[in-house]
A = this chain, B = another copy of it.
Amino acid sequence: MLKNNKNLTEQCADLASGKETSVSLTMKALDKAEEYSYLNAFVVLDREKSLDQAVASDKRRANGNCLSPIDGVPIAVKDNYLTKDYPTTACSGALPLEPSGQDATIIANLREAGVVIFGKTNMDEWAFSPTNVNSNIGPVLNPHNTNHVTGGSSGGSAAAIASGIVSAGLGSDTGGSIRMPAAACGIYGFKPSYGRASRHGVLPLSWSLDAPGPLASSLKDIELLLPYFLGEDSKDLSTVSSAKFEVVEHNEAINVIHLTGEGLERSDEIDTAVKRALEASSAVVKEAGLSHVDNYYEAWEAIIFSEAASYHQPLLKKNPGGFSSGLRAKLEAGSQLSALDVLQAQRLRSQLMHTFACELGDWDIIVTPTLPVTAPTLNEEEQEFGGKKVHAHKSMLWFCVLGNMTGYPCVTIPIGLSKSGLPIGMMLMGKPNEDEKLLAIAIKLESALKKHSV
């Protein structure tokens, strides 16, 4: 499906060459949004607001005042980013339906670059689910097969990109919420290192795990977008300063650790796809296991449940009816945890970081499948793979949580389709704060992969 759509890089070139205008791109996006409205990708989409921004962009370009290479491109925004002109509901009934009047730092950055903020996308209620079935406006459907989920919680952005409505979108990732829908929809998703992307104005789910990032149609698109995400922000004290964003071509050999074994199972067809992709690349691949994977998953749960419960306590007291019963139960479970549960979880987290940093030997990237199995159907409660039966939520999160527990940067790239026609993604994890190097390696690895397929 993607083959017929232009990616962000191509759209920018078309704008630069005059082949397209921001208005023509935005009109096409509006038409496609109508064509694919059955996917339920958008919470709100305003024709007039979008076209107003496009007209302004075209005027700038005509006057030689183009703000950036991405000036005029329509980009979809997950509904947990504050946007001054749209309400921000997090697909929950608990928040007011008036526009906040405020922009998240990343939104402000993109507006300064001239981007057309093209509507707000569907997501799991407060980002606290991995399927995008749990939204107060109903599930998002997978463009590859509408019986299947997109994965969540950034499912609306992923579906809008995979269906070609827009070439890129914004997501946030606490346990895989960018990478899971990107993989399930056959597109690209990047979770920055914890502390490199500003979270100011992005509604929190679990503040020690959350990372906002882009979903897009190519790695070059990600490279174009990341500068607007990364950078120290005095409004988010967790952000760190770093050198100017620059992706330098990676010419050295790539040392890959491919994580396998107990607790890291995947379906045969996904295993084959990842192994083929790694073989096709010129990388030096070493397989390694990881002990206590289940403990790490439980630690991640303790952290996200307790931090979400802590954050939501005031609003939950004030407006309990604004939350779904499912989410209320999760928040209640979080508030029942003890200090020792949470601190034990944090210690396991340090242990996992130590393992990755010191015990796996030399590596440039750590690779796993993004999902251990293709996306479940909308009603599927349990998935079977690698000799295990796993709740569909846990199977989605299977590998991705490792990225949030460590805070390391991760990118998912599509590596093919299953026999049933559903996308398969491969996840690459880089060293902390080396987001640029991770992207450079992903670009090199994918280009080797593409040569091999030709």
* A interface with B by C-beta (< 8 Å): 234, 237, 302, 306-307, 309-310, 313, 334-335, 337-344, 347, 350, 353-354, 357-358
Contact = CB atoms under 8 A, between A and B. Distances in A.
Determine the main DSSP class of A at the interface with B.
helix
Nearest to A309: B340
B340 A341 contact: no
**5 tightest CB-CB pairs across the interface, nearest first?**
A310-B343, A337-B339, A306-B339, A339-B342, A310-B340
A340 B331 CA distance: 11
Contact of A344 (B310, B334, B340): B310
A237 to B, nearest CB: 6
| Oligomeric state, in copies | 2
A358 to B, nearest CB: 6
A357 B234 CA distance: 8
B350 A237 contact: yes
A313 B342 contact: no
Given A344-B310, A347-B310, A237 B339 contact: no
Contact of A340 (B335, B347, B350, B357): B335
A340 B313 contact: yes
Given A338-B338, A339-B341, 12 more contacts: A234-B357, A234-B358, A302-B339, A306-B339, A306-B340, A307-B343, A309-B343, A310-B340, A310-B343, A337-B338, A339-B339, A339-B342
Contacts of A237: 350, 353-354, 357
Contacts of A306: 339-340, 343
A432 to B, nearest CB: 10
10 contacts: A234-B357, A309-B340, A309-B343, A310-B340, A310-B344, A310-B347, A335-B339, A335-B340, A339-B341, A342-B342
